[in-house]
Amino acid sequence: MAVAAAGENIELAPLTTLKLGGPAERLVKVDETAELVKLVQAADAEREPLFFLAGGSNVVIADQGVPGTTIWIRTSGIEERELEDGRVSITVAAGETWDELVARTVDSGLSGIECLSGIPGTVGATPIQNVGAYGQEVSSVIASVLVLDRESGEVKTLTADQCGFGYRSSRFKGNSRFLVLGVEFILDPSATSAPIAYAQLAGSLGIETGERVPLPVARETVLELRRSKSMVVDPADPDSVSAGSFFTNPLLDLAEMADLAARAEEILGPDDVPPSYPAPEGMAKTSAAWLIERAGFSRGFGEGPIGLSRNHTLAIVNRGGGSTGELVAFAHGIADRVESVFGVALVPEPVFVGHHW
Residues tagged active-site: 168, 245, 349
Is the Cβ–Cβ distance between 74 and 52 less than 8 Å?
no
CA quadruple 176, 139, 108, 183: dihedral sign: positive
Is the Cβ–Cβ distance between 196 and 210 less than 8 Å?
yes
323: left (phi over 0), alpha (psi -120 to 50) or beta: beta
Q: How many CB atoms lie under 10 A from the CB of residue 191? A: 11
- Determine the Cα–Cα distance for residues 75 and 275; give it in Å rounded to an integer: 41
Q: How many CB atoms lie under 10 A from the CB of residue 129? A: 22
Helix ranges restricted to H, the chain = 33-45, 98-107, 125-129, 199-205, 215-228, 254-268, 288-294, 324-342
Name the 3-class secondary structure at 216.
helix
CA distances from 123 to 113, 126, 196, 304 (A): 12, 5, 23, 34
**Cα–Cα–Cα angle for 311, 315, 317, rounded to 5 degrees:** 90
